[in-house]
């Protein structure tokens, strides 16, 4: 994040605007919306600009810019449309240590103005850091279409009751939850419908009612974060993260997903890797119960889906046996997400009529599986946590009848920017993993559907060889 987002109160200080044309007009409108006092410097003004400059908050200096004009200003905006003038304004502002914005010149700016959604007093700013202002405006239009017209009325309504709520509900956690219920409840609906008198009566009942004072029970949401790509997080998972007081997260959950949690939420790393557990499962269970029984909303955030090799069922049983309310929010499991990212269908008519999820993890070096069943029929095997036991698994499948030439694909860091795909035959699986240096989280897919990845890899290699000079290719 290059620019620090902030909202400035300009009502008690004067800002400087240099320019008298269309570029300056847009900035002047924005400054006056913020109730700023504006010193306008320009030798001449366009007709629309001249009409707006009649506002009592605007002082027009009918002359070219001079460096001392910047002194004592809250901020300076250069919008003359003349590069040499705008550069002089920027240089003078920087010399005086005053924030400067130059229209369409992000290289000269110390601050930029975002695309704005105005539901006064609610204001939303969207910035691309000056790199893609058209995209920021398109996003603004999409968000505008989603927001109720009376959203500003709702903000003012809530503000008028803020002191009363603070005096009545003194506990910070209870107060936050009161407001969360309010903004999604019927009273807010009355305000948005324009029935503010009825809303005020109902609001007084909410504030003085017993429900506002009662301690809310805590809860745990066991949330699947998906295989790694933040865009695969579900809407419900996002909501639970933003509501959580405490987030317990695994090693496979990336920082981009953790950042969706409330900034004031407590974040506890409980990741586990082979022979390296920051917290045991018993400790994780106890932590969840402790925080929930203290009245907090807990999110147990897991990679993939919590009910597919994620111990979500064990955690749910533990919590429910202690009277803790539990919700499970499913996630995109690694098999579905990684296979899709690699362009591999898990089932394919006439080729793979079933898919089996299995774990390669084992305490004694070999997972206890029904090898004969796994080696038979037209099916796809999706192997989780199987990197360290890959050679053993391949050997057992071949022993029980699966062809040694069966295609396999290994997807490391699936769906992420650093995703790697390694292909081969079942008989060489262990060697391929070792040669490729696969050691991160990886999914192994065994079956004819993996041939699609092998074909894609061969086509890529052929294209790369074709691009080489002939002597090198040979």
Cβ–Cβ under 8 Å, residues 193 and 202: no
Provide the b/e sequence for 335-353 (b: ≥16 CB within 10 Å): bbbbbbbbebebebeeebe
Active-site residue, selected from the candidate residues 82, 236, 251, 272: 272
Active-site residue, 272 included: yes
Cβ–Cβ under 8 Å, residues 468 and 409: no
Name the 3-class secondary structure at 431.
Answer: helix
Q: Which runs of E-coded beta strand occur in 217-296?
A: 219-224, 246-249, 266-269, 272-273, 276-277
Cβ–Cβ under 8 Å, residues 382 and 408: no
Q: Helices 281-293 and 312-320 meet at what angle, rounded to 10?
A: 40
CA distances from 44 to 18, 80, 81, 131 (A): 11, 11, 13, 31
Tokens of 149: 């017209």
List, as one string, the DSSP characters of 275-319. Answer: TEESS-HHHHHHHHHHHHHTT-EEEEEESB-TTSSS-HHHHHHHH
Active-site residue, 259 included: no
- How far apart are the two ends of the chain, measured CA to CA in Å? 48
The single residue listed with the structure tokens 């003004």 is 45
Tokens of 335: 């098999």
Active-site residue, selected from the candidate residues 250, 302, 305, 452: 250
Question: Catalytic residues, which ones?
Answer: 250, 272
């Amino acid at each position: 994040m290059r620019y620090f987002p902030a909202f400035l109160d300009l009502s008690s200080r004067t800002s400087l605007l240099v320019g008298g044309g269309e570029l300056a007009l847009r900035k002047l409108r924005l400054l006056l919306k913020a109730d700023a006092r504006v010193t306008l410097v320009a030798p001449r003004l366009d007709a629309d600009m001249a009409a707006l400059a009649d506002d009592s908050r605007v002082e027009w200096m009918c002359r070219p810019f001079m460096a001392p004009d910047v002194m004592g200003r809250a901020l300076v905006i250069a919008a003359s449309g003349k590069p040499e003038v705008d550069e002089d304004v920027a240089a003078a502002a920087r010399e005086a240590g005053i924030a400067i914005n130059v229209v369409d010149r992000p290289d000269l700016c110390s601050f930029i103005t975002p695309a704005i959604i105005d539901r006064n007093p609610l204001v939303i700013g969207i910035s691309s850091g000056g790199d893609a202002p058209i995209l920021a405006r398109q996003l603004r239009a999409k968000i505008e279409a989603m927001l109720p017209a009376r959203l500003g009325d709702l903000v003012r309504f809530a503000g008028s009751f803020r002191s009363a709520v603070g005096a009545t509900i003194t506990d910070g956690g209870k107060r936050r939850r009161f407001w969360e219920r309010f903004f999604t409840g019927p009273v807010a609906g009355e305000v948005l419908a324009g029935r503010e008198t009825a809303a005020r009566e109902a609001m007084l009942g909410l504030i003085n009612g017993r429900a506002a004072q009662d301690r809310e029970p805590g809860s745990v949401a066991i949330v699947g974060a998906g295989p790694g790509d933040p865009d695969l997080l579900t809407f419900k998972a996002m909501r639970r993260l933003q509501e959580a007081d405490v987030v317990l997260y695994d090693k496979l959950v990336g920082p981009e997903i953790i950042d969706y949690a409330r900034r004031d939420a407590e974040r506890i790393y409980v990741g586990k890797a082979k022979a390296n557990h920051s917290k045991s499962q018993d400790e994780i269970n106890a932590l969840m119960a402790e925080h929930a029984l203290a009245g907090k909303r807990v999110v147990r955030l897991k990679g993939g889906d919590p009910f597919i090799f994620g111990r979500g069922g064990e955690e749910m049983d533990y919590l429910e046996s202690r009277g803790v309310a539990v919700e499970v929010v499913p996630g995109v499991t690694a098999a579905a997400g990684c296979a899709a990212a690699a362009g591999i269908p898990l089932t394919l008519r006439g080729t793979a009529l079933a898919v089996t999820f299995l774990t390669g993890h084992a305490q004694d070096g070999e997972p206890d599986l029904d090898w004969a069943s796994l080696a038979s029929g037209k099916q796809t095997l999706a192997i989780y946590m199987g990197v360290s036991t890959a050679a053993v698994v391949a050997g057992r499948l071949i022993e029980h009848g699966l062809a040694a030439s069966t295609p396999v694909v290994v997807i490391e860091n699936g769906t992420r920017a650093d995703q790697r795909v390694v292909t081969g035959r079942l008989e060489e699986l262990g060697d391929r993993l070792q040669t490729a240096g696969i050691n991160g989280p990886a999914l192994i897919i065994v079956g004819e559907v993996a041939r699609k990845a092998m074909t894609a890899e061969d086509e890529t290699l052929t294209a790369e060889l074709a691009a080489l000079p002939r002597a090198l290719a040979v």
